[in-house]
Homo-oligomer: A and B are copies of this chain.
């Protein structure tokens, strides 16, 4: 959650307009962390607020892949861009409606890229800088140093790039900001 928020936060850490649900009693599947992400950001305060800001810093971040999985990197060096999945281990999982401080209204979790979601898997598209052994250098991620790595995938423009895609609620918020 944004450290900028100044709205009243309840005892359970829920802001006005937010909605939490009870989590399921049992999990359905399990995740292996395949490594850690090294970034220059040691606290939420220093970290970029989102993927766009991260990219603007131009900072090189490193995906340190566990040696067990190192052979799985063969061919990654030929990719210009990668999709990185990582685990936001500090995020709560029970909010269905969220009210980030920088937006006017509450939004459904699945309409947001917030780390707070039932499965706190974040996704970033990054430019590959270099692969060296088990270390993959990319530009650039918004997560804290030490964040657990979940997956690395090649980015295929043919299916992954939709340059004219729209997020209606977000465009409306931006229009309000610019008024």
Residues on A facing B (Cβ under 8 Å): 19, 21-24, 27-34, 50-52, 55, 65, 68-76, 78-81, 83, 85, 87, 89, 93, 96-97, 106-113, 117-119, 121, 123-125, 148, 150-170, 172
**In contact, B165 and A162 (Cβ under 8 angstroms):** no
**In contact, A151 and B30 (Cβ under 8 angstroms):** no
Question: A69 with B21: in contact, given A78-B168, A157-B164 (CB under 8 Å)?
Answer: yes
**In contact, A73 and B110 (Cβ under 8 angstroms):** yes
Q: How far is the CA of A72 from the CA of B109 in the complex (A)?
A: 5
**In contact, A111 and B157 (Cβ under 8 angstroms):** no
Q: How far is the CA of A117 from the CA of B168 in the complex (A)?
A: 34
Question: Could you say which residues of chain B place their CB within 8 Å of the CB of A160?
Answer: 125, 160-162, 165
CB distance from A68 to the nearest CB of B (A): 6
How many copies of this chain are found per oligomer?
Answer: 2
Q: How far is the CA of A160 from the CA of B52 in the complex (A)?
A: 10
**In contact, B165 and A163 (Cβ under 8 angstroms):** no
**In contact, A170 and B157 (Cβ under 8 angstroms):** no
Question: Could you say which residues of chain B place their CB within 8 Å of the CB of A68?
Answer: 21-22, 24
Question: Could you say which residues of chain B place their CB within 8 Å of the CB of A159?
Answer: 50-52, 55, 124-125
6 A-B pairs with the lowest CB-CB distances in the bound complex, closest first: A78-B168, A75-B111, A27-B30, A74-B108, A72-B109, A72-B96
**In contact, A154 and B125 (Cβ under 8 angstroms):** no
Q: Which of B73, B79, B121 contacts A166 (CB 8 A)?
A: B79
